[in-house]
Chain A
Amino acid sequence: GENVEQHPSTLSVQEGDSAVIKCTYSDSASNYFPWYKQELGKGPQLIIDIRSNVGEKKDQRIAVTLNKTAKHFSLHITETQPEDSAVYFCAARPNTGTASKLTFGTGTRLQVTL
Chain B
Amino acid sequence: GAVVSQHPSRVICKSGTSVKIECRSLDFQATTMFWYRQFPKQSLMLMATSNEGSKATYEQGVEKDKFLINHASLTLSTLTVTSAHPEDSSFYICSARPVRQVSYEQYFGPGTRLTVT
Partners in one complex: yes
Spell out A's residues near B (CB within 8 Å): 32, 34, 36, 41-46, 49, 51, 89, 95, 98-99, 101-102, 104-107
Task: Name the contact of A43 in the complex, choosing from B32, B46, B49, B108 (C-beta under 8 A).
Answer: B108
Determine how close the nearest CB of chain A comes to the CB of B55; give it in whole angstroms.
12
Write 25 A-B pairs (CB below 8 A) sorted by A numbering.
Answer: A32-B104, A34-B106, A41-B111, A41-B113, A42-B110, A43-B4, A43-B109, A44-B44, A44-B108, A46-B106, A46-B107, A46-B108, A51-B104, A95-B102, A95-B104, A98-B97, A98-B103, A99-B32, A99-B49, A102-B34, A102-B106, A104-B44, A105-B43, A106-B42, A107-B42
Asked if B31 CB lies within 8 Å of chain A CBs, one says yes
Q: A41-B113, A95-B102, A98-B97 are in contact. Are A107 and B57 (CB under 8 A)?
A: no
Interface of B is mostly: strand
**How many angstroms between the C-alpha atoms of A34 and B102 in the bound complex?**
15
